[in-house]
Amino acid sequence: MTITTNLKKNKKSRKINFSTDTEQSYEKILEYYSLRFQVEFSFRDAKQFFGLEDFMNIKKIRIHNFANLSLFMNNVTYLYYEKSNFEKYSISDIKSLFMGKRYASELLKLSYKPPIDISNLDIINKMSNFAMIHRDSA
């Protein structure tokens, strides 16, 4: 049994976790239970943001590849999120930022004549965050 305290309300709650594995330690049971939610959140994000829910196919190898690609993109986004200054941004904001950068870059390729290097232009950064919810410093 675990007793947790809500600091705002100063109330205690009790949680009882069960397992069919009687040899497993109590700490391991709690660790596995908490990891279960991480797996669920990963699948939710892969479905919501990286097309896993919309993918329709019946061939085994294509399903395997797309499911792995969706979860891989999930991991890349989490890694980028941890390594950047995007603590308050959502996955949707990060996707919008990169899509905006891509659109701005492609638009500038059509309008500028070479040899101007458009990859580092400030205008790309300004144009790319137009769809972000939290766009104050991206």
- The string of pLDDT tens digits covering residues 36-62 is 888 888 888 888 888 878 777 788 888
Q: Tell me if 44 sits within 8 A of 90, measured CB to CB.
A: no
CA dist., res. 109 & res. 43, Å (int): 36
- 105 by Cβ neighbours in 10 Å (0-12 / 13-18 / 19+) ranks as middle
- Tell whether pTM > 0.95: no
Q: What are φ and ψ of residue 10, in 5° steps?
A: 55, 45
- The string of pLDDT tens digits covering residues 88-137 is 677 777 777 778 888 877 777 777 665 556 555 666 666 666 666 666 55
